[in-house]
């Protein structure tokens, strides 16, 4: 039988994930302040970008995993994973704005426009903002379930943009292994959703015409 935590266990699982998700940030801060890094700016920009991507992939894994394992409670973790994706993307962006441009927003926009791989990352980040803002229960109610689902389909655009950003950045170094692996992961995760939604509407259509 599938594991189904009690409310207390679920609280414990959530607290553990919440704390573990802060470990990469704590590590980056520690390595920087203890002077162990040769290139702290590069390390933090890359670290926060990588973790934004990992959390994006984890968030996308929740629905297929829940469906395959029949552990419906997993859905209760999705919001936290999504917010952590946004949190690390926000830190990634802030590092770029702070260390690369010393908060010169106009200069940052000029840089963004000149370097297409940054423009793609920036677009993915901007699109994540409405998803983060509407992640609360109150916003789901306010928008209405259907509109909320439509808005959150932006993830179908955000995840490939994140991959394209990564791919483009690595293209300068002809190092495609990781972008390829993450691209394949995102393709499978999004492909599974598209397949299930297509199969669902096909079986609903068959039921309607049959009955």
Residues of this chain that bind ligand HEM (CB under 6 A): 42, 45-46, 49-50, 52-53, 56, 89, 92-93, 96, 112, 118, 121-122, 124-125, 128, 162, 165-166, 169
Which secondary-structure segment (H or E) carries 27?
helix 23-33
Residue 58 near residue 50, CB atoms below 8 Å: no
CB of 162 to ligand HEM, least distance (A): 4
DSSP string, 112-178: HHH-HHHHHHHHHHHHHHHHHHT-SHHHHHHH-HHHHHHHHTTHHHHHHHHHHHHHHHHHTTT--HH
d(CA 32, CA 39): 9
Say which residue the tokens 């829940």 belong to.
66
d(CA 111, CA 118): 8
In this complex, which beta carbon is closest to ligand HEM, that of residue 74 or of residue 89?
Answer: 89
d(CA 102, CA 199): 50
In this complex, which beta carbon is closest to ligand HEM, that of residue 74 or of residue 120?
Answer: 120
CB of 42 to ligand HEM, least distance (A): 4
CB of 134 to ligand HEM, least distance (A): 17
In this complex, which beta carbon is closest to ligand HEM, that of residue 45 or of residue 66?
Answer: 45
CB of 23 to ligand HEM, least distance (A): 17
In this complex, which beta carbon is closest to ligand HEM, that of residue 55 or of residue 74?
Answer: 55
Closest CA to 31 of 43, 19, 46: 43
CB of 52 to ligand HEM, least distance (A): 4
In this complex, which beta carbon is closest to ligand HEM, that of residue 73 or of residue 168?
Answer: 168
């Amino acid at each position: 039988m599938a594991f189904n935590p009690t409310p207390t266990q679920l609280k414990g699982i959530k607290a553990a994930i919440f704390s573990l998700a802060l470990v990469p940030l704590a590590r980056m801060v520690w390595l920087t302040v203890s002077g162990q890094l040769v290139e702290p700016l590069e390390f933090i920009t890359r670290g926060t970008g990588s973790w934004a991507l990992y959390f994006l992939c984890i968030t996308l894994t929740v629905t297929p995993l829940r469906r395959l394992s029949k552990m419906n409670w997993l859905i209760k973790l999705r919001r936290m994973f999504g917010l952590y994706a946004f949190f690390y993307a926000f830190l990634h962006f802030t590092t770029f704005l702070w260390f690369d441009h010393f908060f010169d927003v106009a200069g940052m926009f000029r840089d963004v426009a000149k370097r297409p791989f940054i423009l793609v990352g920036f677009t993915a980040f901007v699109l994540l903002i409405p998803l983060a803002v509407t992640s609360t229960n109150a916003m789901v109610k306010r928008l209405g379930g259907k509109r909320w689902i439509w808005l959150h389909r932006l993830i179908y655009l955000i995840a490939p943009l994140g991959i394209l950003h990564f791919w483009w950045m690595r293209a300068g170094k002809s190092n495609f292994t990781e972008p390829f692996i993450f691209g394949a992961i995102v393709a499978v995760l999004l492909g599974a959703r598209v397949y299930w939604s297509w199969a669902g509407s096909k079986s609903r259509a068959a039921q309607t015409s049959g009955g």
